[in-house]
A and B are shown apart, each in its own frame.
Chain A
Amino acid sequence: MANIPEDLNYTKDHEWVRVEEKRATVGITDHAQNQLGDVVYVELPKVGDTFEVAEPFGSVESVKAVSEIYMPLGGTVAEVNDSLNDSPEQVNDDPYGDGWMIVIEIENLSQVDSLLNAAEYEDYIKEEGAE
């Protein structure tokens, strides 16, 4: 079973979000990295880039496929995990830690309410697997 930490929020596109006041750290979930397989390249935006909610902000390439990663919340990119350039395997090894991707300066805090909590995300991936 995938690791789904209680203290994070999630999206149906399999991003995780750690909201701390007006900032949110974003990565892809353990379930997502497991489905993708070995990640070989991560393409991330530049600090200062602005995206709307659900807009793709980068992509993750594994030996199987390239997948887009989507903004869980609209806002401006405040930090980018540049270490993924040289060590993309961190996304597989530690998706919720060293494998983080970006920190967003959140534009509209009310969007946080539409994110999934851990239990809801767990139900969602069960449903997806059953299809």
Chain B
Amino acid sequence: MKNRIKKATTHTVQNEGLLFEVSRPGRTGYSLSQLDVPEQTEEMIERRLLRDDDLAGMPELSEVDVVRHFTRLSTWNYGVDTGMYPLGSCTMKYNPRLNERIARLDGFAGLHPLTPAPLAQGALEVIRRLEECLTRITGLHAVSLQPAAGAQGEMTGIMMIRQALADRGDPRKKVLIPDSAHGTNPASAIICGYTVHTVRSNAEGGTDLASLREMMTEDVAALMLTNPNTLGKFERNIEEVCRIVHQHGGMVYMDGANMNALVEVARPGDFGVDVMHLNLHKTFSTPHGGGGPGAGPVAARETLEPYLPFPRVVRSKDGSLTLDFDRPKSIGRVRAYFGNFGVLVRALGYILTHGDEGLREATEAAVVNANYIAHNLKDTYDIPYPGRVMHEVIFSDKRQARHGVKNADISKRLIDYGFYPPTMSFPLIVQGAIMVEPTETEGREELDLFIAAMKAINEEAAEDPEILRHAPHTTKVGRLDEVAAARKPVLRWQPEGRQK
């Protein structure tokens, strides 16, 4: 077989036991000084609360055992610091190190969240400045930085809409969501007590206006729209969409998870959106993928501003910043203190180091990169919704399926070629979807390697489909049995002899 793999090669990977298995009796990672006071355990702690099994099964290890174990495990990983991570919809862009450094400054990292406002002016300034930046970027009126993730931002926004409609004496029952929206949108609407109704997409991948007109009745509270949507398409009729919803007294919620395609180019407030969230961990480059933490700020139009979570950071007449808890219409707190503050510091760092022009260039590069991939692969892979895309491109496995090769096989084989797999089988309206989002971070060399890998995999699909069906071959762990893992999960390690 021809060697088509250019980027990746093999390197030594050691066998690795579980810590439980490499344990040796008596080995420790500490050395305590002699106890020089009487031992009082039984008088201090009730007998029934004391363990009598001597922590059976707990691993006994030295410090170097533990450090090497986790360092070796980390080398099996693939992260955005290893190479291109084209996980569509997740915006796995590089996280600039400068922002890490700023977030670790003692004044930020060591500040207690209950520090009185007069002594925490710097931190409050970060919050206020970031709110102002995001207000300007979204074209809306005000921002709350409290929500700690995109989905929490969605829920916060929908709670605000629900409260505003209740105050208007017009509580409603339904939320409309296009079939190209993010999967969390229906969950957020249902948790807020609404029923969800799906609006179909048209052949171009936009909202079908005729369906929307038909479904948009007086009992619809809101339309939740992802723009650009999960087909990587900008909603061309967005103004008309908003007009139809507003005409019937509803509100437009925008899922801003794909805002990295719009920053400094188009503003949701200008095209009629009432409330939206942003994902700082996507668009504004704060680290995620290892569980975050994330941040899902909510931006709202002036009429919805009173419903934002409290406290609000406000500027007093003397220029200092204070906390305003007197917000009678607010939906309340959605998160302790001020959300994930360290993430907010990083996002502000990203915005200020780029400047308006830099942010626009990042947006343009993200869109150019996605279109570069789409253009170079359009003759190799099916693109179910063709034409210009925004920040990501959705392929399907239709052509390769003829050889019995599915999207999962293509994605797993990409690992052998040195790339993280794209998002798969999403959006649901594309059968066999492969969703590729390169982000602006990647240079042309890396994009070309990715394109070459995808083309090579297509050739393999015709010549030797078995190699794809059993990929990856070069990783420490091969293809896992996802079905068995989901049907019969083993959730807890059991010591030898206790296994069921």
Binding site for B on A (CB under 8 A): 35, 38, 40-41, 61, 63-65, 67, 88-89, 129, 131
Which chain B residues border A40 with CB–CB below 8 Å?
A: 483, 486-487
Q: Give me the 8 closest cross-chain CB pairs, A-B, nearest first.
A: A40-B486, A64-B425, A38-B483, A63-B482, A40-B487, A65-B428, A63-B483, A63-B486
Which chain B residues border A64 with CB–CB below 8 Å?
A: 424-425
Which chain A residues border B487 with CB–CB below 8 Å?
A: 40-41, 88-89
Determine the distance from Cα of A89 to Cα of B431 in the docked complex, in whole angstroms.
Answer: 21
B234 at the interface (CB under 8 A from A): no
Which chain B residues border A131 with CB–CB below 8 Å?
A: 203
Which chain A residues border B482 with CB–CB below 8 Å?
A: 38, 63
Which chain A residues border B425 with CB–CB below 8 Å?
A: 64-65
B426 at the interface (CB under 8 A from A): yes
User: Which has the most chain A C-beta neighbours within 10 Å: B203, B426, B428, B486?
Assistant: B486
Closest Cβ of chain B to A86, distance in Å, is 9
B455-491 toward A: CB 8 Å interface, digit per residue (1/0)? 0000000000000000000000000001100110000
Closest Cβ of chain A to B29, distance in Å, is 39
New contact pairs (12) apart from A40-B483, A61-B486, A65-B425, CB-CB < 8 Å: A35-B431, A38-B482, A40-B486, A40-B487, A41-B487, A63-B483, A64-B424, A64-B425, A88-B487, A89-B487, A129-B431, A131-B203
Determine the distance from Cα of A35 to Cα of B428 in the docked complex, in whole angstroms.
Answer: 10
The closest CB in chain B to the CB of A40 belongs to B486
The closest CB in chain A to the CB of B483 belongs to A38
Q: Would you give 10 A-B contacts (Cβ < 8 Å), ordered by A? A: A35-B431, A40-B483, A40-B486, A40-B487, A63-B482, A63-B486, A64-B425, A65-B426, A65-B428, A88-B487
B242-284 toward A: CB 8 Å interface, digit per residue (1/0)? 0000000000000000000000000000000000000000000
Determine the distance from Cα of A58 to Cα of B254 in the docked complex, in whole angstroms.
Answer: 28
Closest Cβ of chain A to B413, distance in Å, is 18
Closest Cβ of chain A to B345, distance in Å, is 36
Closest Cβ of chain A to B197, distance in Å, is 11
User: Which has the most chain A C-beta neighbours within 10 Å: B424, B425, B426, B431?
Assistant: B425
The closest CB in chain B to the CB of A35 belongs to B431
B325-363 toward A: CB 8 Å interface, digit per residue (1/0)? 000000000000000000000000000000000000000
Determine the distance from Cα of A64 to Cα of B432 in the docked complex, in whole angstroms.
Answer: 10
Report whether B424 and A41 are in contact in the complex, using a CB–CB cutoff of 8 Å: no
Determine the distance from Cα of A89 to Cα of B484 in the docked complex, in whole angstroms.
Answer: 11
Which chain A residues border B486 with CB–CB below 8 Å?
A: 38, 40-41, 61, 63
Determine the distance from Cα of A88 to Cα of B425 in the docked complex, in whole angstroms.
Answer: 20
Which chain A residues border B426 with CB–CB below 8 Å?
A: 65
Which chain A residues border B203 with CB–CB below 8 Å?
A: 131
Determine the distance from Cα of A17 to Cα of B371 in the docked complex, in whole angstroms.
Answer: 45
Determine the distance from Cα of A89 to Cα of B486 in the docked complex, in whole angstroms.
Answer: 11
Which chain B residues border A63 with CB–CB below 8 Å?
A: 482-483, 486
Which chain B residues border A35 with CB–CB below 8 Å?
A: 431
Determine the distance from Cα of A61 to Cα of B424 in the docked complex, in whole angstroms.
Answer: 15
Which chain A residues border B483 with CB–CB below 8 Å?
A: 38, 40, 63
Determine the distance from Cα of A63 to Cα of B424 in the docked complex, in whole angstroms.
Answer: 11
Closest Cβ of chain B to A40, distance in Å, is 4
The closest CB in chain A to the CB of B198 belongs to A68
Closest Cβ of chain A to B88, distance in Å, is 15
Which chain B residues border A88 with CB–CB below 8 Å?
A: 487
Closest Cβ of chain B to A23, distance in Å, is 27
The closest CB in chain B to the CB of A89 belongs to B487
Closest Cβ of chain A to B271, distance in Å, is 28
Which chain A residues border B424 with CB–CB below 8 Å?
A: 64
Determine the distance from Cα of A63 to Cα of B426 in the docked complex, in whole angstroms.
Answer: 12
Which chain B residues border A61 with CB–CB below 8 Å?
A: 486
